């Protein structure tokens, strides 16, 4: 599901989970285990990228449709725990976005301290509302933390996806490079952040992210339950099915 290589004193985590690197319970747990272990170890920068042409297409909606409400009630807590752990990772994290980063894939990229996207490689955005399902608290707070206030509602409610240049204008990514430059530039960013004194970096990062983490945790019981109930209803399954059918139909054209 993931492969980790050491490159120039940086851990490069590559998602290798099917064609779309879709988020399911198992991938969430794999990422959780890696970042928990890496967070307890010596300070090292991490680059998160993926195999193939898709960074991540987000939650595996086909798996949701197959598993229905029972699976949703396993998935959303696993997703929340993974998001909270990666977002609070104390060491530098760079996202090297090599392709489409949609819905949960965009959330994953936005958990990083610095985001670099390859131009012409894909689009990035959060189409949850256009699918017809609400944001659980952790993903919503991550996007609130990352996006400038003047763009927050447009991107969250509009459900659009953006090419790399547009994404940089809106604050979804920090830097746009050619696909050939992506890993080299990500390594440069990882080394720059890694050169900061580890305790100083960790303390500053935790202070910056503390309000978002507090809101995630404070709203978990009530909002998570509401989100699960909405995600798990037959009506939600119908909306997800319609979105999947539209997406498959668009790919066939």
For residue 63, what are its two tokens?
Answer: 């798996």
Cβ(13)–Cβ(92) under 8 Å?
A: no
Which domains, and CATH codes, for the chain?
A: 2-194 (3.90.226.10)
pLDDT, tens digit, 9 for 90 and up, residues 189-236: 999 999 999 999 999 999 999 999 999 988 777 777 877 788 888 888
Residue 250 confidence (pLDDT)? 61
Ramachandran angles phi, psi of 93, nearest 5°: -130, 125
Cα–Cα dist 107/90, whole Å = 18
Where helices occur in the chain by DSSP H, the ranges are: 25-40, 61-87, 104-110, 128-131, 137-146, 149-158, 164-170, 182-194, 198-218, 220-232, 234-252
Average pLDDT over residues 230-247: 87
Residue 52 confidence (pLDDT)? 85
Cα–Cα dist 33/25, whole Å = 12
Q: How is the beta sheet containing 100-102 ordered, strand by strand? A: 54-56, 100-102, 124-125, 161-162
pLDDT band per the 50, 70, 90 thresholds, residue 86: very high
Residue 249 confidence (pLDDT)? 60
- Average pLDDT across the chain, whole number: 92
| Beta strands at 124-125 and 161-162: parallel, antiparallel or unpaired | antiparallel
Cβ(63)–Cβ(231) under 8 Å?
A: no
pLDDT surpassing 90 at residue 132? no
For residue 170, what are its two tokens?
Answer: 């809106």
Cβ(24)–Cβ(60) under 8 Å?
A: yes
Cα–Cα dist 162/149, whole Å = 18
Query: What is the H or E stretch that residue 1 is in?
Result: none
For residue 116, what are its two tokens?
Answer: 């670099």
pLDDT surpassing 90 at residue 146? yes
DSSP 15: E
Percentage with pLDDT > 70 across the chain: 98
Cβ(105)–Cβ(59) under 8 Å?
A: no
Ramachandran angles phi, psi of 97, nearest 5°: -90, 105
Residue 248 confidence (pLDDT)? 65
Cα–Cα dist 45/190, whole Å = 6
């Amino acid at each position: 599901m993931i492969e980790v290589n050491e490159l120039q004193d940086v851990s490069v985590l590559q998602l290798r989970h099917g064609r779309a690197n879709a988020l399911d319970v198992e991938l969430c747990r794999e990422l959780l285990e890696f970042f928990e272990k890496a967070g307890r170890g010596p300070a090292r920068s991490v680059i998160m990228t993926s195999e193939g042409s898709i960074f991540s297409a987000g939650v595996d909606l086909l798996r949701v449709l197959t598993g229905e409400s029972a699976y949703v009630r396993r998935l959303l807590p696993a997703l929340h725990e993974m998001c909270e752990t990666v977002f609070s990772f104390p060491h530098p994290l760079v996202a090297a976005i090599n392709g489409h980063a949609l819905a949960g894939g965009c959330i994953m990229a936005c958990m990083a301290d610095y985001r670099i996207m390859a131009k012409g490689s894909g689009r990035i955005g959060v189409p949850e509302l256009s699918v017809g399902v609400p944001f659980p608290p952790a993903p919503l707070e991550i996007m609130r933390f990352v996006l400038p206030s003047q763009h927050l509602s447009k991107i969250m409610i509009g459900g659009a996806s953006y090419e790399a240049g547009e994404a940089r204008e809106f604050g979804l990514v920090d830097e746009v490079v050619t696909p050939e430059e992506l890993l080299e530039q990500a390594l440069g960013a990882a080394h720059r952040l890694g050169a900061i004194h580890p305790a100083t970096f960790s303390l500053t990062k935790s202070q910056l992210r503390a309000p978002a983490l507090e809101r995630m945790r404070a709203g978990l019981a009530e909002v998570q339950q509401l989100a699960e109930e909405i995600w798990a209803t037959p009506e939600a399954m119908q909306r997800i099915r319609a979105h999947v059918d539209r997406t498959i139909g668009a790919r066939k054209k």
